[in-house]
Structure 1
Amino acid sequence: MAALAWLLIPLVAAIGAGLWGSWATRHRKTGDGPELAGYERFRQAMERSHSGPDAA
């Protein structure tokens, strides 16, 4: 019986690793909208600051 318990430990670990791997690689829906909008505002602000009459 003790040998069976020692064989079940790696089996349970392998099943747990498989479940964790499938959870870690799941497809998540992430929206890049706010980040991209913030970057666009930053880029426009930088262009405005360099397009003045003092621009070299």
Structure 2
Amino acid sequence: MAALAWLLIPLFAAIGAAIWGSWAARDRTMGDIAELNGYARFRDAMEKPDSGTDPATDPV
């Protein structure tokens, strides 16, 4: 019975390594695409010309 326990330890370690390896190699580009789209919207907003008024010099 002790020999079986010693054989199961590497088996469980191999299964755990396979699960961890598949998790570490997963495709994570979905989040990058959303973040890049947000950055593109930010860049577009920064490139728009202003409305022609300067809030610092406008009387309130």
Aligned residues between the structures: 54
Tell me how large the CA RMSD over aligned residues is: 2.9
Equivalents in 1 of 2:55, 2:36: separation in Å? 27
Q: CA deviation at 1:28?
A: 2.1
The residue that corresponds to 1:9 in the other structure is 8
Normalised TM-score (structure 2): 0.52
TM-score (normalizing by structure 1): 0.54
One-letter code aligned to 1:43 = R
Identity of aligned residues (%): 31
Deviation at 1:19, TM superposition (A): 0.6
Structure 2: which 5+ residue stretches go unaligned?
none
Paired residue type of 1:4: A
